Structure 1
């Protein structure tokens, strides 16, 4: 279980959010909603340990999640706004590097996101939606109980968003948790909402 207690964040001389609390259990999903600038991305970065909280705490199974940042990083996958792809590498090569770190089957991950036919193309020639799907394919590699996703559907058409459903379903069925910032509906049935 992950539990946020009274988290607050200060960025660029401004209080971005204050007194944010929630708890999610294995198999749960939480959607972060709110207007642009409400603090959704900042909250995800705080939860990932990439940005310090001004106050409050984050607990993982009742213990301070940030006591060991390396251990915390190993139990999550964070997907921000940037796709973090090497343009000169093929789609398969981009995932192969990640698979060496975390394990998993590169071709199965490409297939899960409908990219198997593009495996040998350099990332630089992919459309923005294809690049986003390639970034999302990293979720299918290795195991991490917590996925932190910042606008995962940006640049995706409706069919591509629906391709995420089996990926999300399998992760949650295995006890995984998803926290996603979004303005659009995601295929996460029974997800709770936290409006910032």
Structure 2
């Protein structure tokens, strides 16, 4: 099943930031989102994940096929590494966390409270959540933040394994991860600023 994004328009803070965004992601492929800070990469990913509504356009399949990792690691500090991953696995109807532990080099940290991990270790744990969801499409927002060179390579390998198993990925990153896919520059999809930024405000009282 392909992921199809068609004529998508997204809004941040009441202002449209991107419009007419269209792309496809076939099984085993990745799309890397590129563009300057503030162009709307995070907003686009949140919309794809179903966390906010699109202004217009369509995304297929729906949010039930998506696993989203944002800047926040999404982990519980008082739970161990094992408990964190087990919680997320059960939430998505999965049981096995062994591959996630191996792929993100967490096997020696399984009993450590997440709150005691270094920033890079926390980031690896947060990303490992993707591997226990069982969902075919990974949406990743600047996933290599706080990762050293070795951990970036580890992450890229984990994504490659996901793709090799027929998964798909949409990733906002400025780093070349060497993945099988294409780069989507968001500049051409930047929405034009309205001539009168108060136009909608005025019309609301007409």
* TM-score with structure 2 setting the length: 0.84
Count of aligned pairs between the two proteins: 184
Is 2:168 aligned against 1:182? Answer: no
**Distance in 1, Cα, partners of 2:8 & 2:50:** 13
| Contact 1:92/1:107 (<8 A) preserved | no
Which range moved further: 107-116 or 86-95?
Answer: 107-116
**Distance in 2, Cα, partners of 1:8 & 1:166:** 32
The DSSP-based 3-state class of the residue aligned with 1:194 is: strand
| Contact 2:68/2:130 (<8 A) preserved | no
Q: Residue 38 of structure 1 corresponds to which residue in structure 2?
A: 39
The DSSP-based 3-state class of the residue aligned with 2:5 is: strand
| Contact 2:25/2:168 (<8 A) preserved | yes
| Contact 1:79/1:148 (<8 A) preserved | yes
Q: Residue 29 of structure 1 corresponds to which residue in structure 2?
A: 30
* TM-score with structure 1 setting the length: 0.88
Change (3 A) 1:18 1:140: same
Q: Residue 191 of structure 1 corresponds to which residue in structure 2?
A: 181
**Distance in 1, Cα, partners of 2:9 & 2:99:** 39
Q: Residue 202 of structure 2 corresponds to which residue in structure 1?
A: none
| Contact 2:76/2:114 (<8 A) preserved | yes
Flag the structure with larger Rg: 2
Is 2:148 aligned against 1:147? Answer: no
The DSSP-based 3-state class of the residue aligned with 1:53 is: coil
Gaps of 5+ in 2: 187-206
Change (3 A) 1:187 1:133: farther
Q: Residue 58 of structure 1 corresponds to which residue in structure 2?
A: 59
Is 2:156 aligned against 1:165? Answer: yes
**Distance in 2, Cα, partners of 1:81 & 1:126:** 17
Q: Which runs of 4+ in 1 moved over 6 A?
A: none
Is 2:111 aligned against 1:120? Answer: yes
**Distance in 2, Cα, partners of 1:57 & 1:142:** 23
Change (3 A) 1:56 1:82: same
**Distance in 2, Cα, partners of 1:119 & 1:108:** 13
Gaps of 5+ in 1: 66-71
